[in-house]
Amino acid sequence: MTFRTSRPLRFGDCDPSGIAYFPSYLNILVGVLEEFFGSVGAPWKELITERRIGTPTVRLDLTFVHPGFHGDTLDFELSVRRIGRSSLDLEHTVSAAGTLLWSACHSVVATSLDTHKSLAWPDDIRAALEKCLETQDA
């Protein structure tokens, strides 16, 4: 299953020429990741405040292909590529009007917000993530 969502590229996300300022992409990507976790039944508010689980990024490899411009609608596709004991490898593609703007390989790790050490994905979250992995190529 590929998770899809869209975001507008706003004035504040761009440099004075109207081209997307690349750090803004990372901020937008955090919101997409939060929405993805919510879609699999693991909303960040619950993870953080009740379960005390964080999902920090440990690797992010971006490839920029075309510029994004103020007013574009960014179409995000997120695919689960691998689930480790505590890690999760994701692939992102971001396009506007059918043109690929950038892609990324992204790894996050489940961590305890109390000890700041990695922890195994809880069974319910692992099961939800595995459903994404199992059906993505079907």
Catalytic residues: 15
DSSP assignment of the chain equals: --EEEEEE--GGGB-TTSBBPHHHHHHHHHHHHHHHHHHTT--HHIIIIIS-EE--EEEEEEEE-S--BTTPEEEEEEEEEEE-SSEEEEEEEEEETTEEEEEEEEEEE-EETTT--B-PPPHHHHHHHHHHHHHTT-
Q: Which amino acid is at 55?
A: T
- The CA distance from 19 to 41, in Å, is 35
